[in-house]
Structure 1
């Protein structure tokens, strides 16, 4: 005869059933250390190309070789972006990225598909699509990892031409196959072309587990070209598109913390996605235009001296020209002339009574001196970029200067000439030692000066 379970036994069975249902959720896999009360923070480690964790790490490269590469990459980057902002509605240049690894662009390692296939991606705040190379490969650049094969992933699904997802994304279609497509051309002539699809993406989490997120739009690239060199598999775009971009799909928030990019051992640079993004510190207005993140720079101070700069110098014109972009792909900071010259003059006034000017041969004119940053600039005041609503980006000597030769240092801020559409750009060297949070739906940017190591430890106990 069947026995009727007692109340405690029934409760036990109910708890077991809930646990079984929870364990089969598509958001996490069995290896995750997820706390069931709160999803873990999607904190992805950012890998600087010169760090020991990077496949590009060269133990024989001198720090001065790396500086040269960063400068070359920064020049290529701003030239690319200036062409991009000149035609903000031209979809053929929407990605706006020179697809190579020069400079200081960061890498991330994530996995896509079921079972997960690892990818090595370049992050770019100027690109709105998350894409990777795929089988069948009509034309692909070399990569270190196996090409992703959609046929081997049980979670992969092409987006159909007649779907709302296609209409809201690119509105491009392969009529023969009935699949939604994309076709991005970069300013340097490289590009990517392929299918749009939905797919699972596996992220590592801040508690050393993993989380699987279903992403409704990714790019599966079958025809790809670019000046990459055998490592990268694609691009993780962090720009905003109301439907297409990864950022919109995970909650329209993200934060980037950058520490000491000169230290190859430093391992705490991180990207946090979604609602657990670190939005702390002072806030300022964030303007998304043409796929780029603009801030309203209202003035600059050197120590207690507020420089005489017309606030209109940093305004973006209705045509799209000018303005100040916060960027992840340039090491240098670029200021248009009427903003740069007062800063240069104040630096010269402070340094030239005791230091000798030096000439650094390059395509760009740098303000340089004979000496070393750590010895000759110990008493140099901080430089403050004053943003709208009282937020400040504070630059100390490691943000403002870099050692280009054993006995020569230069300012990391350079002049943006007229050929660059009046664009100003705040690069990665200025963003060092800051966590910067983007809340796109609220149009707010948060700036917190912090060591990313402390940020990482704080998140472990939150």
Structure 2
């Protein structure tokens, strides 16, 4: 057993160094491509963090869900290698040139360390050149027979895939790193990626194949950014799932400390009797046979590509984007990438206070290749803020398109993936804001009618029809998008609407936030890291805000409640939550399971919908409870479709907010959101008539929708990194932007 400890500066400033360390272990620790450094002050190396920094499942986890400090490691960390080869490196411990295996074999040939055992994790990075990041742990004592680790080492692959877990914590790093993973995160690797297990006489090696993710294997040349600013801890363990397997124990953990890109080495050739290593700056040295060196300059390639999960290519140049360059291990924890092969689009209905969400595909899919985003990720800003204002029940922002920029008012829509604007020449174009002109591509020096598409083929036209029969048709284009003087995105891909229906109010188009090629969040991931928040103003005379990136993280992260964003196979490209019930007054109404799927209906927070939509049975119960609460007041005529329950309060002198029954939304995980009385009812300007601001869904399979009327004056934050693995979240805080 290895007892973890902090580094002793008096001991050569090395973590966990010990004069009594076994020779072969000492040789392994002091070799490799990344040297052992001081735990607290070391840079460009690895260290051994105390196990108590990690929180694992405690003895009573199954009954009380409590975690406790991890304590001592089961095995001792003995080094790390970063290897490059023309082919994928499998089972590296079986190779005759592996330095750890060689050191152990040498010791055993002398009759020493005969019971030693090595545990290795090999993270395999695909590409033109194959890379492997290998972490080694060892013990001089036999693995305890019958223990969970013993059963894992000697078990079958199905058991291993369900149990092998990686945990990590950020020690130092930029805001977006901390937000992407949090201070502590965990993942079962066998469920996320293909793991191959190699059991030797005295070792177990786990090869984690990053190429098993199509998107991960496509992302090879991400910018490396600020590698030297990141220090992270990562640990490996076998998940305890039964009482006799608890508390959980770390197999081992490693701290990777602020790596310097200039220290990178490349494996030049693997000769039979030795290896020559080429340093990046043409500095060649030869080393002992069987020793391997690594290309530390590229150590973050695999991790960045997974965490940010975007098809980002640097084929044009070596431009490094500003917000990247982090994370060594937890790359494989949070796949922010999204599959855009199936398109789901939202629908909106300005005139009737209803934004119906359609699960059908647009008439023609984009066919846009993700390379179309690369040239649009050049903003030097990691933050931005746009004022949000109400227009006829919907909320709009003003952004600039083209060079010189033309400021246009767009609808802010979390229920649509499509970003589009009206373009000249334009058929059947409706009127815009009085001071705005329709975008004329011929007047922009940066406009392109030919964004990159799959197989270098011309992009097909787009046609998007919403359920209220509003529509936009046109072609895909590229131009500069300007959010502020410091937040500019060249070659932003959007729809150039040539034929648009007339029921969009006076907005120039739609700014879509859902997953999709033309979504603003997809095209600004380098700068904003899939982080945004907003506050919808409570009145037309008020101004709210839409914030991106670091500003959103710093001002909206302290949410009063935090809800996981779920995935639904019926709606694969939407950010959904699970609403489990509603309380009105003293009566709680439970959401019922779908008769077909057997699960609770998914719920979307949709800023393009005004009035919330509930399953018909739930709405009927809500309406009945509302009628009972308001029974002392006379009924009024229906205000407007779809609101069908209205009351006349003209004879009452009481404050409307005191008359309206309280309401609370219950989300999965016992997370409750209290609604302001003004969010429960719809009130026309200067009117004493109020209507229940909810309606029923016509189809039992429709999404439950929380409309923008219920979202007013709430601070709502989205952290979308990790969407594919279920780690994305949406947060709510009250008292957002009432001024």
Q: TM-score range by the shorter chain?
A: 0.5 to 0.7
- Residues 63-115 of structure 1, C-alpha deviation per residue, up to 9 Å, x if partnerless? xxxxxxx995224x23xx2xx12x2xx232879xxxxx985222221112222
Which of 135, 148, 152 pairs up with 2:439?
148
Q: Say if 1:286 and 1:94 are closer, same or farther in 2 by CA, change over 3 A.
A: farther
CA deviation profile, 1:341-381 (whole Å, cap 9, x unmatched): 332233233332x3333442655452222315953551655
Q: 2:362 pairs with 91, 95, 120, which one?
A: 91
Do the aligned partners of 2:418 and 2:495 also contact (CA within 8 Å) in 1?
Answer: no
Q: Which residue of 1 aligns with 2:53?
A: none
Partner-residue secondary structure (3-state), 2:655: helix
Q: Deviations over 1:385-411 (max 9, x none)?
A: 011223333212211113358443221
Asked if 1:191 is matched to 2:469, the reply is no
1:133-176, Cα deviation, whole Å (9 max, x unpaired): 3345577545453343444434434545xx4xx23xxx8954xx
The one-character-per-residue Cα deviations of 1:231-285 (angstroms, maximum 9, x if unpaired) are: 43322112222x4321122232221201213xx3212x11112343233311102
Instruction: Give the secondary-structure state (helix, strand or coil) at the position aligned to 2:710.
Output: helix
The match for 2:625 is: 346
Q: Which moved more, 1:379-388 or 1:367-376?
A: 367-376
Equivalent in the alignment of 1:65: none
What do the CA deviations read for 1:176-214 (whole angstroms, capped 9, x no partner)?
xxxx344122131632211332x322223xxxxx32322
Residues 255-334 of structure 1 correspond to what in structure 2 (within 5 A)? 255-261=533-539, 264-267=540-543, 269-277=544-552, 278-281=556-559, 282-287=561-566, 289-303=571-585, 305=586, 307-309=588-590, 311-313=591-593, 322-334=601-613
My pick for the range that moved more, 280-289 or 227-236, is 227-236
Task: Tell me the equivalent position of 2:696.
Answer: 415
CA distance in 1, matches of 2:695, 2:492: 38
Partner of residue 128, structure 1: 417
- Structure 1 unmatched runs, 5+: 1-36, 39-69, 96-100, 175-179, 205-209, 455-462
Superposed CA deviations along residues 39-81 of structure 1, whole A, max 9, x for unmatched, are: xxxxxxxxxxxxxxxxxxxxxxxxxxxxxxx995224x23xx2
Check whether the contact 1:172–1:181 (CA below 8 A) recurs between aligned residues. Answer: no
User: Structure 1 stretch 145-154 or stretch 110-119: which is displaced more?
Assistant: 145-154
CA apart distance, 1:335: 1.1
State whether residues 435 and 449 of structure 1, in contact with CA within 8 Å, keep that contact through their aligned partners in structure 2.
yes
Distance 2:606 2:558 in 1: 19
Q: Larger Cα Rg: Structure 1 or Structure 2?
A: 2
Gaps of 5+ in 2: 1-321, 324-348, 367-389, 723-727
Aligned mates of 1:230, 1:312 — CA distance in 2: 36
Task: Give the match for residue 314 of structure 2.
Answer: none
1:337 aligns with 2:616: yes
Aligned counterparts of 1:306 and 1:230: Cα–Cα separation in 2: 38
Change over 3 Å in CA distance of 1:384–1:319 after alignment to 2: closer
In structure 1, distance between residues paired with 2:530 and 2:681: 34
Number of residue pairs the alignment of both structures matches:
347
Q: 2:712 aligns with which of 416, 428, 432?
A: 432
* Greater relative contact order structure (CA < 8 Å, 6+ sep): 1
What is the CA–CA distance in structure 2 between the aligned matches of 1:189 and 1:355, rounded to whole Å?
Answer: 38
- Distance across 1 between alignment mates of 2:688 and 2:424: 51
Could you tell me how far apart the structure 2 residues matched to 1:436 and 1:229 are? Answer: 25
Q: Give the TM-score, by structure 1 length.
A: 0.65
For 2:441 and 2:362, the matched residues in 1 are separated by: 26
